[in-house]
Amino acid sequence: MKTIQEIQADIVQDFAALTDWMDKYEYLIELGKEMPLIDEKDKTEDKLIRGCQSRVWLSCRAEDGRLRFAADSDAIITKGIISLLLRVYDGQTPADILASDEAFIEQIGLKENLSPTRANGLVSMIATIKAYAASFREAPAAPAAPAAGKGGLEDDIVLALRQVYDPEIPVNVYDLGLIYDVQVDADGQVFIKMTLTAPNCPIADDVVAQVREAVADVPGVKDVEVELVFEPEWTTDRMSEEAKLELGML
């Protein structure tokens, strides 16, 4: 199997052979038709990528130490964009995904030829793929269904939290460091302490609600209580390395 770098080089070469962006859009559309589609039963809220203008669903499973992705979108160009990313990352190991960069996107001129909303969606897609990789790297044997015992349920809760995005920064709330504490008792009661990047966020209630709903959907969770706090104050030091890398801070 080709490495991520080799696949990216192939993509750069493919795009270089196309004369204008209408041809390149057509190429993206063809890629979208060929990618492995997410199962209809998996088109659920927890599989939606936050931060995309169009609806984009992404699922991930581990197979022999590699991650297998499936996706779909209700917008044809967006479907082509996620298919391009899956061409790069599908079948790769979590470690290789996290160690890779996205220089090929700049080389083919993709981001600069997208609308601002689609460009933000592209960033969110990459962040979600890397969040899956980080989750499976931390718990490589974790199955899609909740594992027996407290540890397995907590892993699934973290994965759910990584599907909720800050309204101002295209990074999920977990890797952004907004989740201060997660406690799970033996009865499936979940207690979360979280913050926001700014105390005066006008949609704070919406973000808290998204966290509560995402975690409540995790099999094995009976009830969720979310406490919003602003002490200690959030700083960028709380961000994961993946988040800092995504935002160009490393």
142's CB contacts (< 8 A; 6+ apart) are 62, 135, 136, 152, 155, 156
**3-state DSSP: the chain helix, strand, coil percent, rounded to 5?**
50, 15, 35
30's CB contacts (< 8 A; 6+ apart) are 80
Note the Cα 237 to chain centre separation in Å.
21
Q: What is the DSSP letter of 238?
A: G
Q: What are the structure tokens assigned to 247, written together?
A: 């935002």
User: Which residue among the candidates 31, 35, 52, 60 is catalytic per the annotation?
Assistant: 52
38's CB contacts (< 8 A; 6+ apart) are 47, 57, 58, 59, 70, 71, 72
Q: What are phi and psi of 235, to 5 degrees?
A: -135, 165
Catalytic site residue 60?
A: no
The residues carrying an active-site annotation are 52
